[in-house]
Every structure is written in C-alpha cells, then in structure tokens.
C-alpha cells in the first residue's frame, strides 16, 4: 500500500517546528505503525538525513511510552489501543496520514514526536505510592479485600501513564491519570491509611505542573487505551473535597505519612 505521511519535525524545544511530507510505497498492511516509522527512519539514515524521533519501548501496549497523535487522535484510529498496537491495515491505500506529538503546555516537545512527560513522574513522586514495612511478607488472608473492590482497584491500576488523556483534553487536564492513580491506592487497605494526604499532594503537584481544569467532556475517556472510566475523576473530586475539609479543620496535613 501507499501512504503519504505528514510528520511534525522539530529539531529542539526552542526551535520552530513544521510538517514534512514523506511518500511511502509498498508498505505491507501487516506492519505496525511504529515498524512503518522504523522503515522510514532506516531510509532517512541511509540517505544521510536525520531520522524522525519518536518514543517506544515494549511495543505491546504495556509501558505507555508510545505517544503519537495520528490524524488528530491520540494513539490513532484504534479503540482502547496504544500507538504501538496500530497496524497499517487500519489505513486505506493512498491515505494521507498526519502524525504529531501529544500537544499540551505541560508536555514540552523535546524533538519531533517526543514530548517531556516528566510532569507525570513528579505527580507520582508526590504521592503515587504506599509505605510498607519491610521484612517477611504478611499472611495474605490477614488483609481481606472484597472481590468487587479488588476488581475496581485493578481497573484503575490499568493506567499506563501514557498521557493520551491530557493530549485529548481541550484544557490539557490530567485528572483521568491522577484519578486512576489515587483511586487504585485508596481502594486497597495498604493505600487507605495515607489517602487524604496523598490526594492533597498529588492534586497540588498536578496544578503546579500546569495542567488545566476538567470540563468533563469525557474526551480523555474516549482515547484512553486502558478504558479508564471518568468515574475515577468523580472519586478524585470527592476525595479531594473530603481531604481539604479535614485539612482546614486541622485534622490532617499534606505531609502526613503512614
Ligand atoms: S488514564 Fe488512560 S490515557 Fe490517561 S495516562 Fe492513564 S492510560 Fe493513558
Ligand atoms: S511502546 Fe509500550 S505501550 Fe506502546
């Protein structure tokens, strides 16, 4: 098949970027989108040109590294699919395909299609963990978790931190990501102890990183490759209101730890 690619090229964060067209012929429909970019880069290197920078790691939908906006949609045309799981057979022969980086003020473009998603790391450092005592593993049955609670926690824990929710949001909000991280820890006994302090720290870190507010358009949910539900946003709002009230009453401090 033949594809015309319009790819965003930007040499560095401070320089202006723009679209460059590449016509690709004899593409096998069973190539993945990233393999197609590998072939393009192979040819660019052979002719002495700068290859297109893009991120990837597992190529199995697990790590959250891949991060392209394809024809205006974060992660491309698939539903509940990461960029690395998109295949060329999803496009029609002769199509013109536009490839851009995730766009958000909080995710600066580093080069071409690579953006800086370290704001997510800093939000996680603010509270996306639990304190556990080291030593022997505790008896599993000493911490019973109801089946439906475990299922809900696992659903939220599916978030791979890719950032597509931010790229899809007209406000560049990160609440689907933060909601998923807060929710899966708050549901389990190990994470309940620090629940209030955690939500205060993570929401404040999110605001400091420059993410916008939520208008509840559900664009984030529509593009999330792991089907994270906007219910985690409602739960985040409830948890924040409760924690903030306790903080104002002097019952807790954001620095509280287990
Ligand atoms: S909530 Fe979904 S879209 Fe957002 S970072 Fe997690 S997996 Fe990616
Ligand atoms: S490369 Fe790991 S999820 Fe796509």
In our burial notation (b when 16+ CB lie closer than 10 A, e otherwise), range 226-245 reads bebbbebbebbbebbeebee
pLDDT surpassing 90 at residue 217: yes
CA of 137 to the centre of ligand 2 (A): 32
CA of 135 to the centre of ligand 1 (A): 33
Tokens of 41: 């880069």
DSSP single-letter state for residue 12? S
| Closest-lying ligand 1 atom to the alpha carbon of residue 226 | 7
Class of domain 119-248: mainly alpha
Mutate to test the pocket of ligand 2, among 38, 58, 80, 87 (most ligand atoms within 8 A of CB): 58
The total of other beta-carbon atoms located within 10 Å of residue 217's CB is 14
pLDDT surpassing 70 at residue 10: yes
Among protein residues, the one with the nearest Cα to ligand 1's atom 2 is 224
CA of 117 to the centre of ligand 1 (A): 12
pLDDT surpassing 60 at residue 165: yes
Residue 257 pLDDT grade (very low, low, confident, very high; cuts 50, 70, 90): low
Higher-confidence residue: 183 or 142? Answer: 183
Q: Do domains 3-111 and 119-248 have the same CATH topology?
A: no
Q: Which among 149, 256, 136, 125 is positioned nearest to 196, based on CA atoms? A: 256
- What pLDDT sits at residue 200? 97
The total of other beta-carbon atoms located within 10 Å of residue 209's CB is 17
Q: Domain 3-111 classified CATH 3.40.225.10? A: no
Give 34-47 pLDDT, tens digit per residue: 999 999 999 999 99
Cβ–ligand 1 contact at 68 (below 6 Å): no
Cβ–ligand 1 contact at 176 (below 6 Å): yes
Q: Which among 193, 184, 199 is positioned nearest to 231, based on CA atoms? A: 184
Among protein residues, the one with the nearest Cα to ligand 1's atom 5 is 161
Give 83-94 pLDDT, tens digit per residue: 999 999 999 999
pLDDT surpassing 70 at residue 258: no
Q: What's the first-to-final CA gap in the chain, in angstroms?
A: 58
**Length in residues, the chain:** 258
pTM of the entire structure? 0.94
Please state the domain extents for the chain. 3-111, 119-248
Ligand 2 pocket at CB < 6 A: 56-59, 61-66, 82-84
pLDDT surpassing 80 at residue 185: yes
Average the pLDDT over 67-94 and give the result: 97
Q: Is 173 exposed, middle or buried (0-12, 13-18, 19+ CB in 10 A)?
A: buried
């Amino acid at each position: 098949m033949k594809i015309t690619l319009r790819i965003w090229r930007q040499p560095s964060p401070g320089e202006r970027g723009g679209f460059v067209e590449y016509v690709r012929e004899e593409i096998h429909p069973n190539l993945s989108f990233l393999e197609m970019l590998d072939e393009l880069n192979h040819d660019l290197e052979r002719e002495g040109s700068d290859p297109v920078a893009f991120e990837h790691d597992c190529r199995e939908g697990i790590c959250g590294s891949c991060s392209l906006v394809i024809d205006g949609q974060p992660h491309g045309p698939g539903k509940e699919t990461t960029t690395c799981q998109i295949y060329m057979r999803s496009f029609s022969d002769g199509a013109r395909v536009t490839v851009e980086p995730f766009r958000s003020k909080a995710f600066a473009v580093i080069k071409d299609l690579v953006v800086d998603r370290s704001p997510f790391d800093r939000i996680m450092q603010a509270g996306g963990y639990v304190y556990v005592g080291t030593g022997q593993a505790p008896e599993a049955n000493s911490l019973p978790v109801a089946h439906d609670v475990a299922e809900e926690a696992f659903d939220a824990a599916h978030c791979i931190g890719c950032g597509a929710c931010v790229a899809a949001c007209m406000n560049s909000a990160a609440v689907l990501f933060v909601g998923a991280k807060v929710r899966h820890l708050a549901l389990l006994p190990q994470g309940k102890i620090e629940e209030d302090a955690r939500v205060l720290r993570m929401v404040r870190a999110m605001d400091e990183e420059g993410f916008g507010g939520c208008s509840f358009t559900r664009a984030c949910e529509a593009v999330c490759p792991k089907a994270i539900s906007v219910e985690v946003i409602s739960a985040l709002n409830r948890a924040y209101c409760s924690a903030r009230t306790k903080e104002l009453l002097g019952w807790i401090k954001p620095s509280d730890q287990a």
